[in-house]
């Protein structure tokens, strides 16, 4: 089992954390229910979906077996015969048709990240053969992303380099200063050539697109494997379409509110949860020169951050340093790279090469802003962000004064088609949640809230390991086997399961 972070999840980390050039049932309310009637009833548009014609993929994939196609879906599901947009889809077909039981739709997270090559990435990362035989594994670029109809905020190179986290704010004045940059990006998004897509580029509409994919493929039900933000996307899908959900696996789970202001602030907690793993790793290898005890390594973090804020090294300032550290905590496989990066910064030497990022950063960031700002309302006053920063700077000093800061969502246009979907316990008991105990990107605390919201619908498996992404990228056999068993047999653990650490893997 490979231990390095796959490119798809690395891109997810970047979507969440790129900083200064560092690649990092209760039923829905009435308004949403009206939309879902349009999406779910056999209206004219739904009854005559595009015929999927598979062909070779034009983008580079890990396997030549991956096939691609495009599907037209409504921009606005309240007007299913109105303006249409394109959704790019892919398929890694089962090589054992006699064992095939349906389709497994996948999403690697984001929002903003492409998922078209994700089936091939999953196969290359060790998705078990019996899973690959049981399903056609389906990938897609969500609306607004990549080879689907894309959105743009016309972000400049400088804005892209600034990334998705605000700079670390030491004072209220730092927050007020950043508000100008946040407002500018929001205005660019609202006046770009794709501004017409913004009210409709939401998680709920992406879930409705997923159901159109299911219809176009001629499948009565949809199984699903989604990680990170993809966990929330899957939760929304199985809430809107409980009767069309087959086996739903949610990996590295967001809270039931999705990617809202609470989730953004939770990165601060995730950093604190995960960092001790790195501190122990670096302390056990004194050749890095970062300290011989976890306490010394932790002190080195704050020392370097302070020094780099005063005088950047190799183009890395304090905010970039925090972002780089956070991103490399996503995988045990990148901990040595993190230690070498610290070592280089300590001695003012060039940083080691980072994993390549092949995605379009402008589109990735723009699509992310569209979804997270369009899904829910964020605080709209600078004063509230100043209060949040003051709290999180003390509570989560490693990163909290950045992730609690102000971003474009504070200035987003007020027009929203519907409120967020409320995740609840109505529907079949067919959800398996899988979660690392020390996940920097989607902390355990948020997963536990989602688990409570699902009630009897879900069972959760937690693994005593760190990092972002459990299946099939993690090394915990207990957790991986639970997912494989569920996908291939439908059997989940009888109750929530805690998988012990498996040292040496």
Under DSSP, the state recorded for 184 is H
Under DSSP, the state recorded for 91 is E
Q: Tokens 């246009």: give the residue.
A: 413
293: left (phi over 0), alpha (psi -120 to 50) or beta: beta
The DSSP-derived string for 116-135 is TTHHHHHHHTT--HHHHHHE
Q: Say how far apart CA 505 and CA 502 lie, in whole Å.
A: 6
Q: Say how far apart CA 51 and CA 73 lie, in whole Å.
A: 12
Q: Return the structure tokens found at 299.
A: 């002190």
What confidence score (pLDDT) does residue 48 get?
A: 44
Tally helices (H) and strands (E) across the chain: 18, 10
Q: What is the pLDDT along the chain (505 residues), one digit of tens a residue?
A: 223 333 333 334 333 333 333 333 222 333 333 344 444 433 333 434 557 999 999 876 667 899 999 999 999 999 999 999 999 999 999 999 999 999 999 999 999 999 999 999 999 999 999 999 999 999 999 999 999 999 999 999 999 988 888 999 999 999 999 999 999 999 999 999 999 999 999 999 999 999 999 999 999 999 999 999 999 999 999 999 999 999 999 999 999 999 999 999 999 999 999 999 999 999 999 999 999 999 999 999 999 999 999 999 999 999 999 999 999 999 999 999 999 999 999 999 999 988 776 679 999 999 999 999 999 999 999 999 999 999 999 999 999 999 999 999 999 988 788 999 999 999 999 999 999 999 999 999 999 999 999 999 999 999 999 999 999 999 999 999 999 999 999 999 999 999 999 987 5
Dihedrals phi, psi of 430, to nearest 5 degrees: -140, 25
Q: Say how far apart CA 166 and CA 328 lie, in whole Å.
A: 18
Q: Return the structure tokens found at 323.
A: 């972002």
Domain spans of the chain, in order of start: 25-151+197-256+424-499
Residues with active-site annotation: 228, 439, 468
What confidence score (pLDDT) does residue 50 get?
A: 58
Closest CA to 482 of 462, 502, 455: 462
Q: Return the structure tokens found at 182.
A: 């946040």
Kind of pairing, strands 67-74 and 55-56?
A: antiparallel
Q: Return the structure tokens found at 241.
A: 């379409």
Q: Tell me the CA distances in angstroms from 265 to 420, 466, 493, one per residue in order.
A: 19, 19, 32
Q: Tokens 């995960």: give the residue.
A: 274
Backbone CA torsion sign across 469, 354, 17, 288: positive
Crossing angle of helices 30-40/229-240, nearest 10°? 80
Question: At 55, is the secondary structure helix, strand, or coil?
Answer: strand
Class of domain 25-151+197-256+424-499: alpha beta
């Amino acid at each position: 089992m490979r231990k390095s972070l796959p490119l798809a999840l690395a891109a997810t980390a970047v979507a969440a954390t790129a900083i200064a050039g560092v690649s990092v049932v209760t039923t829905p309310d009435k308004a949403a229910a009206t939309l879902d009637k349009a999406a779910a009833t056999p209206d004219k548009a739904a009854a005559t979906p595009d015929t999927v014609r598979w062909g070779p993929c034009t983008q580079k994939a890990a396997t030549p077996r991956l096939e691609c196609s495009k599907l037209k879906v409504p921009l606005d599901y309240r007007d299913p015969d109105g303006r249409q947009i394109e959704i790019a889809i892919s398929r890694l077909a089962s090589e054992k048709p006699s064992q095939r039981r349906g389709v497994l739709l996948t999403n690697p997270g984001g929002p903003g990240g492409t998922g078209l090559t994700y089936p091939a990435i999953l196969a290359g990362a060790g998705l078990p053969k019996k899973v690959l035989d049981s399903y056609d594994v389906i990938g897609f670029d969500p609306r607004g992303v990549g080879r689907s109809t894309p959105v743009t905020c016309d972000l400049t190179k400088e804005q892209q380099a600034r990334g998705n986290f605000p700079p670390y704010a030491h004072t209220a004045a730092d927050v007020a200063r950043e508000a100008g940059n946040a407002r500018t990006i929001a205005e660019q998004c609202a006046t770009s050539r794709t501004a017409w897509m913004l009210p409709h580029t939401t998680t709920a509409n992406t879930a409705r697109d997923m159901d159109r994919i299911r219809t176009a493929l001629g499948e009565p039900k949809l199984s699903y494997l989604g990680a990170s933000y993809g966990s929330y996307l899957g939760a929304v899908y199985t809430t809107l379409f409980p009767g069309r959900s087959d086996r739903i696996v949610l990996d590295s789970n967001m809270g039931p509110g999705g990617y809202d202001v609470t989730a953004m602030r939770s990165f601060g907690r995730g950093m604190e949860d995960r960092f001790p793993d790195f501190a122990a790793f670096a302390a056990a290898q004194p050749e890095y020169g970062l300290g011989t005890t976890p306490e010394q390594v932790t002190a080195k973090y704050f020392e370097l951050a302070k020094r780099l804020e005063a005088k950047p090294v190799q183009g890395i300032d304090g905010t970039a340093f925090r972002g780089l550290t956070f991103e490399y905590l996503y995988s045990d496989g990148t901990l040595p790279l993190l230690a070498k990066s610290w070592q280089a910064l300590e001695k003012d030497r060039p940083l080691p090469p980072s994993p390549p990022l092949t995605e379009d950063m402008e589109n990735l960031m723009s699509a992310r802003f569209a979804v997270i700002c369009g899904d829910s309302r964020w605080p709209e006053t600078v004063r509230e962000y100043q209060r949040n920063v003051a709290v999180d700077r003390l509570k989560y000093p490693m990163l909290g004064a950045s992730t609690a800061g102000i971003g474009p969502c504070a200035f987003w246009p007020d027009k929203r088609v519907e409120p967020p979907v409320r995740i609840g316990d109505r529907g079949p008991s067919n959800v398996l949640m899988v979660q690392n105990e020390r996940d920097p990107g989607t902390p355990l605390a948020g997963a536990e809230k989602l688990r409570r919201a699902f009630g009897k619908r879900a069972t959760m498996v937690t693994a005593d390991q760190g990092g972002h992404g459990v299946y099939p990228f993690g090394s915990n056999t207990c957790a991986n086997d639970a997912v494989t068993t569920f996908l291939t047999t439908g059997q989940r653990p009888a109750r929530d399961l805690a998988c012990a650490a498996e040292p040496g893997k």
